[in-house]
C-alpha cells in the first residue's frame, strides 16, 4: 500500500496527536519530527516511532524522504513555515487557524499556484469526519429543508475552577494567535457550518461583538492575554441566508453546544462536538400539523476521530491527488469572515467580508 512519508513540525499538544494518529494509519509513515525545543521533538519521535529528529524545519523540508509536512505550531510564524514547505515541494497540512489573517492565507494560495500538484489543507475540517456530519451534509444537500434561512451555532462554556497551572499564553494572544476564541474555535464553527452546506453560501457582511474574560475570572487566562474569550456575530450572505455564531469560554453562562440549520420547509438541530448520546433532530413542516419533530440519528462519537480523520483525509488527498476536506480557498473564506468579525467588533459597526 502507498504510504505518505510525513514530517511533523511542532511536537506540542496537537503535534503529538498528529503523531499518534499517524502511527495508527496505514497510509502514513512518520519520517521525522522537529521542534524549537529539540528535547521535545526527540521525546515525541521516540514515543511515536519516527526515525529522524531534525534540528530545524528547514532541514526537514530539505529531506527528500519527507513527502508531506504537518505544521502543528501556533499561528505566528506558521505562514513562513508553510511558504518554505511549499517552495520545497512538500504537501502541507496546516493546523488551524490557517494564518494570522486573510492576507497570510492569500499568500499561501499564491504560493500553491506555482506548485499546483501540491495538496495543501487546513485542519479546521476536524469536526466533519463523523457519521453524524456526513448525514447532516447529505440531508441538507437533498434540498428537503427548502430554502436555507439561518445557520445558528452556539458553543458557550461556563468558567470552571481556577486552574492550578498557567494556561498556554499563545491561545489568547493577538500577536501570537491572531486573536482569541474566534481563531481557536470560531474557525471550527465556520468550517462545520459552511462545510455542511457544501460551501455554497457567500458571506458578505458581519456585525460582531467580542469580550475579554471578566476581570474577576482572570486566573483562567495567561497574564499576556489581550484577545477575546467570547464572541458573537451576525453574518449575512448574498442569498439572504444568515449565520449567527456565538462562542465563549470562561463565561458566566450555562453550557450550551447547539447548532441548527433552518430552511423554509425543515430544520436540523444538532451538536458539532463529539461525545456520548448525540442526537440529530429533524423538524419537518406540513400545512396541516405545522412542525413534526423526529430523531433521525443518535449515537456515541469517539473524540479520537477528530485527529485521525483529518490526517487520514490529508494522506488520502495526497495519494489520490484530490482536494483535502478544507482547501486553502475555503480556509481563506473562514479567515476573511474572522477578520471582518474583528474589524466589526473594533469599530462597533458592520464590516464587509473579503
Ligand atoms: N491544543 C489543542 O488541543 C489544539 C487542537 C487543535 C489545534 N490546535 C492548534 O495547533 C497549534 C499548536 O497548538 P498546540 O496546542 O500544539 O501548541 P503547543 O504550544 O503545545 O505546541 C506548539 C509547539 O510548536 C513548537 N514550535 C513553535 N514554532 C516552531 C517552529 N518555527 N519550528 C518548530 N517548532 C515550533 C513549540 O516549541 C511547541 O512545542 C495552534 O495553532 C492551535 O490553535 C491546538
CATH number at residue 190: 3.30.360.10
The pLDDT tens digits of the residues spanning 264-321 come to 999 999 999 999 999 999 999 999 999 999 999 999 999 999 999 999 999 999 999 9
- Residue 258, helix vs strand vs coil: strand
The pLDDT tens digits of the residues spanning 53-87 come to 999 999 999 999 999 999 999 999 999 999 999 99
Please report, for residues 46, 71, 88, the alpha-carbon distance to residue 51 in angstroms, rounded to integers and kept in the order given.
Answer: 8, 18, 21
Residues 254 and 318 in one domain: no
The one-character DSSP state at 262 is E
**CB 299 near ligand 1, within 6 Å:** no
Helices assigned H by DSSP within the chain: 13-24, 38-48, 57-61, 78-87, 102-113, 131-141, 174-177, 181, 187-196, 305-320, 328-347
Tell which phi-psi region holds residue 178, choosing left (phi > 0), alpha (psi between -120 and 50) or beta: left
Task: Compute the distance from residue 131 Cα to the ligand 1 centre, in Å.
Answer: 28
Closest CA relative to residue 169, chosen from 93, 76, 44, 98: 76
Cβ-contact 247, 230 below 8 angstroms: yes
Instruction: Please give the Cα distance from 7 to 44 (Å, whole number).
Output: 12
Residues 156 and 288 in one domain: yes
Instruction: Please give the Cα distance from 206 to 148 (Å, whole number).
Output: 18
Task: Compute the distance from residue 287 Cα to the ligand 1 centre, in Å.
Answer: 53
Ligand 1, atom 39: nearest CA belongs to which residue?
A: 12
The tally of domains found in the chain comes to: 2
DSSP element (H, E) containing 29: strand 28-34
- Of the chain, the percentage scoring pLDDT greater than 90 comes to 97
pLDDT band at residue 165 using 50, 70 and 90 as cut-offs: confident
| Residue at 96 is within a domain | yes
Write down the pLDDT at residue 167.
Answer: 85
Write down the pLDDT at residue 166.
Answer: 75
**CB 99 near ligand 1, within 6 Å:** no
Average pLDDT estimate for 138-155: 98
Task: With a cut of 80, say whether residue 235 has pLDDT above it.
Answer: yes
**CB 34 near ligand 1, within 6 Å:** yes
**CB 167 near ligand 1, within 6 Å:** no
Task: Compute the distance from residue 304 Cα to the ligand 1 centre, in Å.
Answer: 18
- Of the chain, the percentage scoring pLDDT greater than 70 comes to 100
Residues 63 and 120 in one domain: yes
Residues 132 and 228 in one domain: yes
Task: Compute the distance from residue 182 Cα to the ligand 1 centre, in Å.
Answer: 17
Mutational test site, ligand 1, from 21, 34, 39, 74, max ligand atoms within 8 Å of CB: 74
Structural domain boundaries, residue 177: 128-301+335-352
Cα 213 to chain centroid distance, Å, stands at: 22
| Residue at 313 is within a domain | yes
Mutational test site, ligand 1, from 9, 11, 13, 93, max ligand atoms within 8 Å of CB: 13
pLDDT band at residue 175 using 50, 70 and 90 as cut-offs: very high
Amino acid at each position: 500500500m502507498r504510504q505518505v512519508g510525513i514530517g511533523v513540525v511542532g511536537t506540542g499538544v496537537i503535534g503529538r496527536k498528529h503523531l499518534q494518529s499517524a502511527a495508527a494509519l496505514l497510509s502514513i509513515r512518520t519520517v521525522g519530527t522537529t521542534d524549537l525545543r529539540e528535547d521535545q521533538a526527540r521525546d515525541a519521535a521516540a514515543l511515536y516511532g519516527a526515525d529522524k529528529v531534525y534540528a530545524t524545519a528547514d532541514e526537514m523540508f530539505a529531506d527528500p524522504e519527507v513527502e508531506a509536512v504537518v505544521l502543528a505550531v501556533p499561528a505566528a510564524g506558521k505562514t513562513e513555515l508553510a511558504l518554505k514547505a511549499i517552495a520545497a515541494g512538500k504537501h502541507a497540512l496546516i493546523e488551524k487557524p490557517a494564518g494570522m489573517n486573510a492576507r497570510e492565507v492569500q499568500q499561501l494560495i499564491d504560493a500553491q499556484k506555482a506548485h499546483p500538484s501540491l495538496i495543501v489543507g487546513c485542519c479546521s475540517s476536524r469536526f466533519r469526519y463523523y457519521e453524524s456530519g456526513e448525514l447532516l451534509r447529505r440531508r441538507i444537500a437533498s434540498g428537503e429543508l427548502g430554502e436555507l434561512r439561518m445557520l445558528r451555532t452556539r458553543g458557550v462554556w461556563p468558567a470552571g475552577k481556577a486552574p492550578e497551572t498557567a494556561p498556554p499564553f499563545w491561545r489568547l494572544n493577538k500577536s501570537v494567535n491572531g486573536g482569541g476564541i474566534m481563531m481557536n474555535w470560531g474557525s471550527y464553527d465556520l468550517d462545520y457550518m459552511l462545510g455542511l452546506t457544501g460551501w455554497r453560501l457567500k458571506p458578505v457582511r458581519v456585525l460582531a461583538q467580542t469580550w475579554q474574560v471578566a476581570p474577576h475570572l482572570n486566573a483562567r487566562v495567561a497574564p499576556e492575554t489581550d484577545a477575546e474569550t467570547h464572541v458573537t456575530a451576525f453574518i449575512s450572505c448574498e442569498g439572504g441566508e444568515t449565520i449567527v455564531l456565538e462562542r465563549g469560554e470562561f463565561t458566566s453562562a450555562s453550557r450550551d453546544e447547539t447548532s441548527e440549520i433552518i430552511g423554509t420547509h425543515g430544520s436540523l438541530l444538532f451538536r458539532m462536538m463529539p461525545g456520548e448520546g448525540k442526537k440529530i433532530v429533524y423538524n419537518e413542516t406540513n400545512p396541516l400539523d405545522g412542525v413534526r419533530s423526529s430523531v433521525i440519528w443518535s449515537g456515541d462519537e469517539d473524540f479520537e476521530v477528530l485527529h485521525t480523520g483529518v490526517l487520514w483525509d490529508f494522506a488520502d488527498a495526497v495519494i489520490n491527488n484530490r482536494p483535502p476536506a478544507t482547501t486553502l480557498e475555503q480556509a481563506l473564506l473562514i479567515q476573511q469572515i474572522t477578520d471582518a468579525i474583528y474589524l466589526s467588533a473594533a469599530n462597533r459597526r458592520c464590516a464587509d467580508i473579503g
